[in-house]
Structure 1
Amino acid sequence: MEVISKEIIKPSCETPLHLRNLKLSYLDQLLPPIYIPFVFFYEADESRGLTCSNHVQICQELKNSLSKSLTSFYPLAGRIRDNFVIDCNDNGVEFVNARIHAHLTDVLKSESDPECLKQYIPLDPSAIDNPCEGALFAVQVTFFDCGGIAIGVCFSHRIADCTSIMAFVEAWAATTTGKTEVSQFSFDLANYFPPRDFSGFDPCRVRKSNDKITMRRFVFDKEKLAALRKAAISPSATTVKNPSRVELVSAFIWKHFIELSKHNGAKKNFAASHVVNLRTRTSPPQILGNVFGNSVMSVSAISESVQEYYELVRKLRRSIRTITEDYITESQSGDRYVNDLFNVVSSLMKGELEGCSFSSWSKLPFYEVDYGFGKPVWLGTTALPLRNIIILVNTRCGEGIEAWVNMKQDNLEMLEVQFKLISH
């Protein structure tokens, strides 16, 4: 990998003074100050002008469109101040131009190894400290010898969820291809969930580990999902009607996470937490539908012991459905969500509870992002610095689910044994 240049890209138009200070919502404040990474891979296509000879032109176009897009998404070019405010000072985002002397096919052959993907992102997300001097968004464009391109993105989870960042990425791609109509987002999440004083609260603490955390990718294809769907049918109790792919995969990993913990002698309850998008759970949905930021809540299902798979599917669905419009309203004006979250955190800190946390990206249009050289042939992510975090993404064909699992190495190896047995 050869880094050709690094520079800061600023919005093409200066942010007005009255928009300078943007309050974080308390939902933003509760998220860990880590970077979330993902990488798009694009094949060479000479008919679209994507060749190994026009790197400079492609890079310049991407930088110009990035600058224009930042004008509408101006908080991304700012800096966080005192965990309460984004100073929208137009300090800019980091842009890395790189070249790797390899072929894209080499990456696709080793796609099961997330470690190799770290070189395609602009910073190391396994480091909690900010290596970008406060930049909230960073991108690396890497050119392959074959003409292929990787576009790696990292963003601060403190200011946005993946839905928000994908809206920005789509706007950036649309601007690159000359489109002028892009989705408009508002930046008033703090009006719904005003900031609070969480002094002394470290959102990373419950997920930090002294053990080495690694990531492994598990692909649940159509056949494996069909086997899980069959296993989710209860012989006696009520069966969950039409379990989603996310519910099936989450319950499978949760079940074996419990069994792994019991195997290691743990005597505690076990939680599966799911990040729930609030944007579709209000009536009308437009209330939070186009709000930029962390418009999400984490909800936990609890199991006291190893249970049947179908029971865990049912518990997951029941817990996710507790995030209703009434729950959201009570959390805006009161402490319902904060109390529920802190009760789980307290149990984790006391050692009474062990948990794994799921974040589903399965409804996000990753494979539709086109910068003018076609749609991506693959999307990947890489290891996070926190243990027992699972990210769920659609496969390219849309029929399967890829689970990117952050755990201790020995736990991953035991999980892989069970994964291979699904269809047998």
Structure 2
Amino acid sequence: MLAGRLKDNLYVDCNDEGVHYVEAKANCKLSEFLEDPIPGELNRFLPFELDEINELPAAVQVTFFNCGGLVIGVLMSHRIIDALSFILFLNSWAAIARGHGNVVTPPMDSATLFRPQELSGLNMNIGITKDNIVTKRFVFDASAIVSIREKYSSDDKSIEYPRPIRVEALSAFIRSRFMASTQSKPDPNKIYKILHTLNLRTRTDPPLSFDYFSNISRFALSVPSRDTEEGFYGIIKPMREAIQKIDGDFVKMPQQACMNYLSKFTFKNLITFIDTKSGDGIEVWINLKAEDIAKFETDNELLAFVSPKNFVLG
């Protein structure tokens, strides 16, 4: 699949043209990037801009450093691959390189379970922007996350889980600081939405194996309440209810049983959560317009929770 070419946003022509591969040279040490990675600089390790991979299912760039180290930068098209499949591919590649015999052979028949989405009239560039998007990295340590979870907890004993999980709490906090820092007050004529990308493998009945290779994901959309303060009921509860709706019954509905096609990652207002190396903190990578990030990264309440050592301004 990865050695072919995408055709008309509908299928892969398995013509064995091969994965696009290039090599590059960096006149510095790898350690300079590993200590505190700057998102904008990391793009230099990729063979294309994120929105220019086009018909290629995958592309690889190997960058060699003066110290003898190297970086392998991999781009894959979100039209056919989600994050779980991307990780599966990298783990399998690494296992083969190490000579491990137990390499996963992923099922490739997901199109028989989820029909390819009809793309006639569908705007593939929804959410994509050519504006000046800047990516920033903010690190929240364990103690900061505990405080943010308490901030968005509810005292209502009738709620099954009154204390939000880490992702719920951080989503609410980042959203509130974005709104506070980038505008004086919400526009009453505008609907503000939160999208979470969900893995459908765990939500089918019965669940699918994590080894299924494709883009088997779905958006859960929530609209924060205008009438409730941005606490548990205003943002956590609508977010949680939207996610809970994507269940086995939802997936079985004909109009829902299709694969999501996301072509690129040059989205504005995109937030990605990554566990820190220690495992108890979270790195938050945020895509914002340059003028918005300039306001966001100076928000005093945000800075009170961000780890000073790992706060990245580049």
TM over 0.5: yes
In the alignment, structure 1 segments of 5+ residues that lack a partner are 1-74, 342-382
Which is further off, 272-281 or 256-265? 256-265
Partner-residue secondary structure (3-state), 2:92: helix
Does the CA contact (< 8 Å) of 1:258 and 1:270 recur in 2?
no
Please, which of 404, 411, 415 is the counterpart of residue 292 of structure 2?
Answer: 411
Q: Which residue of 1 aligns with 2:305?
A: 422
Q: Does 1:223 align with 2:143?
A: yes
Does the CA contact (< 8 Å) of 1:389 and 1:407 recur in 2?
yes
Q: Deviations over 1:54-82 (max 9, x none)?
A: xxxxxxxxxxxxxxxxxxxxx01111112
Q: Which residue of 2 aligns with 1:387?
A: 268
Q: Which residue of 2 aligns with 1:313?
A: 236
Q: Which residue of 2 aligns with 1:324?
A: 247
Offset at residue 407 of structure 1 (A): 0.8
Q: Which residue of 2 aligns with 1:356?
A: none
What is the TM-score of this pair, normalised by structure 1?
0.64
Q: How many angstroms apart in 1 are the aligned matches of 2:120 and 2:245? A: 28
Q: Which residue of 2 aligns with 1:12?
A: none
Letter in 1 for 2:246: I
Q: Does 1:234 align with 2:234?
A: no
Q: How many angstroms apart in 2 are the aligned matches of 1:82 and 1:236? A: 51
Q: Which residue of 1 aligns with 2:39?
A: 114
The CA RMSD over aligned residues, in Å, is 2.6
Q: Deviations over 1:66-121 (max 9, x none)?
A: xxxxxxxxx0111111222211111111222222111122213442x211111111
Q: How many angstroms apart in 1 are the aligned matches of 2:295 and 2:231? A: 17
Q: Does 1:291 align with 2:221?
A: no
Q: How many angstroms apart in 1 are the aligned matches of 2:91 and 2:145? A: 30
Q: Which residue of 1 aligns with 2:199?
A: 277
Does the CA contact (< 8 Å) of 2:153 and 2:164 recur in 1?
no
Letter in 2 for 1:284: P
CA distance 1:283–1:186, change in 2 (3 Å): same
Which is further off, 275-284 or 251-260? 251-260
Q: Deviations over 1:160-201 (max 9, x none)?
A: 101111111111100000012112211112111212432121
Q: How many angstroms apart in 1 are the aligned matches of 2:292 and 2:136? A: 11
Q: How many angstroms apart in 1 are the aligned matches of 2:292 and 2:33? A: 25
Offset at residue 327 of structure 1 (A): 0.8
What is the TM-score of this pair, normalised by structure 2?
0.85
**Equivalent residues in 2 for 1:159-178 (5 A)?**
159-178=80-99
Letter in 2 for 1:409: A
CA distance 1:304–1:220, change in 2 (3 Å): same
Offset at residue 203 of structure 1 (A): 2.7
Offset at residue 225 of structure 1 (A): 0.5
CA distance 1:228–1:238, change in 2 (3 Å): farther
CA distance 1:227–1:423, change in 2 (3 Å): farther
Offset at residue 296 of structure 1 (A): 0.6
Q: Does 1:149 align with 2:70?
A: yes
In the alignment, structure 2 segments of 5+ residues that lack a partner are 308-314
Q: Which residue of 1 aligns with 2:311?
A: none
Q: Does 1:188 align with 2:104?
A: no
**Equivalent residues in 2 for 1:7-406 (5 A)?**
75-111=1-37, 113-125=38-50, 128-130=51-53, 134-205=55-126, 207-209=127-129, 211-235=131-155, 240-260=161-181, 262-263=183-184, 266-267=187-188, 268-285=190-207, 287=208, 289-305=210-226, 307-311=229-233, 312-330=235-253, 334-336=254-256, 384-406=265-287
Q: How many angstroms apart in 2 are the aligned matches of 1:277 and 1:335? A: 17
Q: Which residue of 2 aligns with 1:67?
A: none
Q: Alignment length, in residue pairs?
A: 298
CA distance 1:395–1:91, change in 2 (3 Å): same
Identity of aligned residues (%): 32
Q: How many angstroms apart in 2 are the aligned matches of 1:159 and 1:260? A: 36
CA distance 1:242–1:147, change in 2 (3 Å): farther
